[in-house]
Amino acid sequence: MNILDRITVDKRREVQAKKSIFPIDFLMNSPLFIRKTNSLLESVKNGSGIIAEFKRRSPSKQVINQISSVIDVVKGYENAGVSGISVLGDTKYFGGALEDLIQAINSVDIPILRKEFIIDIYQIFEAKAFGADTILLIAAILTKDEIIAFSKQAKELGLEVLLEIHNAEELKKSDLTYVDLVGVNNRNLKTFEVSLETSKLLSMLIPDNKIKVSESGIGTIEAINELKEYGFKGFLIGENFMKTDDPGKAAIEFLKKL
């Protein structure tokens, strides 16, 4: 069982517990449920393309940054000129919380991606209730029917969808009808090795009418320029900023060079 499988098993237990305490009807009464969403798609198309991430730790790197506050980081990211901010909500493996999402939403005016392991439609309503603009769907843990149902539900709630793939097989099984952005994760989930070649190879298979986002292992301006030649408009950067003492400042310095 790889790390993604373990996370998925734990996530199913977590969601079942939440559903019994906070049903969908409860979520729909959240004040943020009627909030007008910001478009990550348009922001990536017309801006820097950088999606900066807030995360405290990861299964591969353990602790990344347990000191910086959500508010300080996301404000720094916004000042840097990023196109969007990814907030990791998983607690057990990434040290995140839904409260991080709320703090981010209340601190900045740019699109927020809820980066979560979504395995139930309930989590899409949860994302809407907590103010997210975009949700992440991971093809590796979903069936074709789930990708269709989840992405359609997101669109009905006014949310955009970033579908993440790791290989050609995942893309082939995915119906992109309701998907706004297609992300390529450069990290091998079995070995944790990262290679930008994954993005380059898969770029040719992603339809031209979908915004391409490269994820993981992007730490230099050269890498971004290289990926742009393969049609990528979005670049999700997490550890490169979060591993510093001041992620916002690191983002500002990085984007100055773009």
Catalytically active residues are: 53, 55, 115, 164, 185, 215-216
Among candidate residues 110, 136, 124, 131, the one with its CA nearest the CA of residue 44:
110
**Positive or negative: CA dihedral 55, 61, 62, 63:** negative
Token reading at 155: 């669109």
| Strand-pair category, 62-63 with 84-88 | unpaired
Instruction: Calculate the dihedral angle through the C-alpha atoms of 58, 153, 212, 113, rounding to the nearest 10 degrees.
Output: -40
Contact status, residue 100 vs residue 242, Cβ threshold 8 Å: no
Output the six-digit token pair for 65. 């940054």
